[in-house]
Amino acid sequence: MKSPRILPAPGPLPDEGGTLFLWVRRGLPLALAALALVGSTLHGAGRGWWMLIGVAALAAAWPSFLRGKAFLRNRTAIVRQDNLWANAFRPLARWLGQEDAWILSFCGHNNRRVRAAFGTRRARRALILLPHCIQMARCKAGILDDLQACYDCGLCPVGDYMNAALLNRWEGRISNRSHKAYREAREYRPDLIVAVSCADRLLKGLTKIPEIPSYVIPLSLPHGMCVDTDFSVPHLFAAMETLVEPRRPSGEIQPLRREGIA
Ligand code: SF4
């Protein structure tokens, strides 16, 4: 068994986006409620219908205000509703050429809520989900079966992740199929998922597993989809340090023995 090497200390979590999604998610129902109020004032004959529309609009906006414990208690319904909004406006965002920006704004909004929920009371049973495409395509190390098959050559993010996972006793899965990752997440029953993937798969994952709070980190795709992808390893470290109870053992850490190259 390899011994982990010491990694740089994680920094603070970066600021999350999410303003665009929140403007649409909360702003549209509130605008409709205001319109209904004006309509009920000006159109006395149809006041009942206007009131009904106003109440429905306020009910649609209400979940966007829930934070912390209230969010955790109602997370499945809240995340399902947010997913509906994200998916409903996705075609428009695509038409405007802003599909990824829209999805990442939704992810940022989700992350803000997860941070608010776990910032004070950290998760005890977290699971990291990573896509197999972060491994360099020409590397033959069998990391899908055994993460420690990685030679830690430094050519892809897997080596840094492996060392941090060993050092901190993180539970994680590297998967080459989304449905396998969802199944493993449901089987492990974590109280928090920290997932790395492309924008499309992050939205899909948040839609498929609304019952488990998930902090999501987007991949960068310097070589296109699914090939030699990359992500911010310090961002993952910061998320685990900030949102998850440490499981790191005390004691001196030995440097990793290098046993080969990719
Ligand atoms: S051996 Fe190198 S290229 Fe292969 S998975 Fe590990 S760090 Fe990535």
**Per-residue pLDDT at 116 exceeds 60:** yes
Separation of 155 CA from ligand 1 center, angstroms? Answer: 6
**Per-residue pLDDT at 59 exceeds 60:** yes
Residue 262 CB less than 6 A away from ligand 1 = yes
**Per-residue pLDDT at 102 exceeds 80:** yes
Residue 155 CB less than 6 A away from ligand 1 = yes
CB atoms within 10 A of CB 207: 15
User: In terms of pTM, does the model score above 0.85?
Assistant: yes
C-alpha pair distances (Å), 125 with each of 67, 167, 196, 246: 21, 16, 17, 10
Q: Write phi, then psi, for 157 (nearest 5 degrees).
A: -75, -10
**Per-residue pLDDT at 169 exceeds 50:** yes
**Per-residue pLDDT at 71 exceeds 50:** yes
Separation of 104 CA from ligand 1 center, angstroms? Answer: 28
What is the rounded distance in angstroms from the CA atom of residue 55 to the CA atom of residue 58? Answer: 5
The single-letter DSSP state of residue 144 is T
What is the rounded distance in angstroms from the CA atom of residue 187 to the CA atom of residue 127? Answer: 11
Q: What average pLDDT score do residues 120-125 get?
A: 89
Q: What average pLDDT score do residues 202-215 get?
A: 93
Say what angle helices 75-88 and 99-118 make with each other, to 10 degrees.
170
Among 91, 113, 88, 110, which Cα is nearest to 29's?
A: 88
Separation of 145 CA from ligand 1 center, angstroms? Answer: 14
What is the rounded distance in angstroms from the CA atom of residue 127 to the CA atom of residue 111? Answer: 16
Query: pLDDT value at position 119?
Result: 79
Q: What average pLDDT score do residues 17-22 get?
A: 90
Separation of 251 CA from ligand 1 center, angstroms? Answer: 27
Among 105, 116, 121, which Cα is nearest to 16's?
A: 105
**Per-residue pLDDT at 253 exceeds 50:** no
Our mutation pick for probing the ligand 1 site, out of 147, 152, 155, counting the most ligand atoms within 8 A of Cβ, is 155
Asked if 106 contacts 218 with a C-beta cutoff of 8 angstroms, the reply is no
The average confidence (pLDDT) of the chain is 88
Of the chain, the end-to-end C-alpha distance in Å amounts to 18
Separation of 198 CA from ligand 1 center, angstroms? Answer: 20
The full length of the chain comes to 262
Domains delineated in the chain: 15-121 (no CATH), 122-249 (3.40.50)
